[in-house]
Amino acid sequence: MDNVCEEHVFSSVFKANSKTVFNYIYYKFGNEEKAHDAVQEAFVKLWENCAKVTPEKAKSYLYTVANNLYLNVIKAEKVRLKYADQHSKSISNESPEYVLEEKQFKKKLDDALNSLPENQRTTFLLNRIDGKKYAEIAEMEGVSVKAIEKRMHLALKALREQIDGI
């Protein structure tokens, strides 16, 4: 019987889940540094409790721990989601009108995403950015696939209402 305390098992759990757990928390925090911290801390806790957590339960353990760490930080700081504007620093050959339009659209999209309830925003980003299936998101969030479908429907509806051309 494999045990999470065995280095190769822990390593494979890390390789299989670290990126997705990071993205999951990043979409909630909107802050890379805090997401890295939460993921690192979740894996440290997994290692500390490796004898109690079976390899099959490791994934959901990581999501739960990382999510709880996230909630504690939110409680402590009342963090608001802010997306980094990676685009603004890139030099482009586009016309100034196009660049302005793109900036305005990005701002509209950011505002629309920010106005979504946290669970809808996370579901939307996990699905559309990470390509996660509803079943995977449901497992991460600890809810039914139906609940994820409803969140996605509401998120898309809200985004369509706020942004023309989506």
pLDDT of residue 43: 93
% of the chain residues with pLDDT over 90:
26
Q: What is the pLDDT of residues 109-140, one digit of tens each?
A: 778 888 888 889 889 888 887 888 999 899 88
Q: At what angle do helices 134-141 and 118-128 cross, to 10 degrees?
A: 140
Q: What is the pLDDT of residues 6-47, one digit of tens each?
A: 999 999 999 999 999 999 888 887 778 888 888 999 999 999
The residues spanned by each domain of the chain are: 7-77, 91-162
For 8-73, the DSSP string reads HHHHHHHHHHHHHHHHHHHHHH--HHHHHHHHHHHHHHHHHTTTTS-HHHHHHHHHHHHHHHHHHH
Fill in the DSSP letter of residue 30. -
Q: For residue 80, is pLDDT > 70? A: no
Class of domain 91-162: mainly alpha
Residue 86, φ and ψ in degrees, nearest 5: -65, -25
pLDDT of residue 100: 72
